[in-house]
Amino acid sequence: MSRTVKTKTLQNTRLATNYGGWTYCDKCQENIGYLCYATYDEINFEYQCQCGNHGKININFEDSQTGHPCEKPLTIIKNRLCCSDDESPLITILEKKLLNYQLEITCKVCHKAYRQTKTS
C-alpha cells in the first residue's frame, strides 16, 4: 500500500525508490544501506560517508504518528536493524562505508522511536 509523503528531505543522498530501498551517497555513489520502506513511520538520519560527504534523510508521512522513545537498542537480524518489539526490519546501515552517523527511526507497527549513533 502506497503512503503519502508529508516531509521528504534528501541531502547529498539518493534513494532507489520514492521513500526507501537502497540508499546511496551522492558524492561517491557508494551504497551506504537499505531503508525498509514498508516498516518505518519516520526517519531522521545524518551521516558522514568515508568519502567525506555529509548526507541527510528526513522522511515522514501524512499518517505518521508521534513515536514513543524506546530505551531498548534496535535488534540486529541478518545485518538489518529491527524493532526490538516485533522484529520488523527497519534499516540496514553499512557502517564500514560511514565515518559517523545519527539515526532516529520510528517503527510503523508499534510506534517505538529508536536512536542510534556511531562516532569515529
Given this model, what pLDDT does residue 1 score? 58
Given this model, what pLDDT does residue 79 score? 93
Given this model, what pLDDT does residue 120 score? 76
Q: Tens digit of pLDDT for each residue in 79-116?
A: 999 999 999 999 999 999 999 999 999 999 999 999 99
Count H helices and E strands in the chain, helices first.
0, 12
Arithmetic mean of pLDDT over the chain = 95
Mean pLDDT of 53-65: 96
Mean pLDDT of 43-58: 98
Query: Model-level pTM?
Result: 0.94
Question: How far apart, in Å, are the Cα atoms of 24 and each of 9, 68, 112?
Answer: 14, 29, 26
Given this model, what pLDDT does residue 103 score? 98
